[in-house]
Amino acid sequence: MDEARGTGPADARLTALGRRIAACRLCVQAPLRGPEDRLPHEPRPVAVLSSQARILIAGQAPGIRVHDSGQPFNDPSGDRLRTWLSVDRDTFYDPDRFAIVPMGFCFPGYDRHGGDLPPRRECAPLWRSEVMAAMPQISLVLAIGHHAQRWHIGADCPDSMTETVRRFRQYLDRNSGPSVIPLPHPSWRNSGWLNRNPWFADEVLPELRQRVALLMV
């Protein structure tokens, strides 16, 4: 768990919050679906909180490589995401530029087909609102995947991830709260989706890169 830098009250608040998140064991000690649904390994929350960054990357949950390294998006999905954003690794991992807070802080394990399970249900209800309240400077949320999109867009979020991303302009420059740009997960498993939806590269990525560049000035 990366803690906020600096010595001001906001940084102290985020540091304390980050330590509480790092110590969280709710999905082991009191899983919502009962003892048989405990997280199948030791929790390792992964997130980057920031009192300075104006961009929040709101992902789903860490994969196994991120769980092992403790560094978010430290995998091929992260490489693709950085290409989408048109930023290098140093910029991406600068906590003054990007906060990185997934919907579930820990790797949730695998389903019976060998794919990653969805984010744990315990995590967002416990932590999400407090995390967002502790980072009021966030101007843009990059909501990756439908779990993040439903939380950050709210009642206006369509049931379909594809339709949510297609309507991305509706969630820019909102009257309340930060702007949201919904994105598909940058996993290489989604290459087929990207090939079937060329409008994503033609329409969404230019707007995404422009917004990100403006907020990093």
CATH number, domain of 156, equals 3.40.470.10
pLDDT at 175 (0 to 100): 79
Helix locations, 135-179, DSSP H: 146-153, 161-166
pLDDT tens string 162-195 = 999 999 999 998 878 899 999 999 998 899 999 9
pLDDT tens string 5-62 = 556 778 899 999 999 999 999 999 999 888 889 998 999 999 999 999 999 999 999 9
pLDDT at 85 (0 to 100): 98
Residue 205 has pLDDT above 80, yes or no: yes
Helix locations, the chain, DSSP H: 9-22, 26-29, 64-69, 76-85, 89-92, 123-134, 146-153, 161-166, 191-196, 199, 205-215
- What is the C-alpha end-to-end distance of the chain, expressed in Å? 26
Q: Does the residue 3 lie in any domain?
A: no
Residue 82 has pLDDT above 90, yes or no: yes
Q: Does the residue 75 lie in any domain?
A: yes
pLDDT tens string 132-148 = 999 999 999 999 999 99
Strand order in the sheet with 98-100: 98-100, 55-58, 140-144, 179-183
pLDDT at 104 (0 to 100): 97
pLDDT at 176 (0 to 100): 82
Q: Does the residue 209 lie in any domain?
A: yes
Q: Does the residue 99 lie in any domain?
A: yes
Q: What percent of the chain has pLDDT over 90?
A: 80
Give the number of C-alpha atoms closer than 13 A to the C-alpha of residue 6, restricted to the C-beta side: 15
- The CA distance from 37 to 160, in Å, is 27
Q: 151: domain range?
A: 9-215
Give the count of domains, the chain: 1
Q: Does the residue 4 lie in any domain?
A: no
For residues 116-126, average pLDDT: 93
Q: Does the residue 1 lie in any domain?
A: no
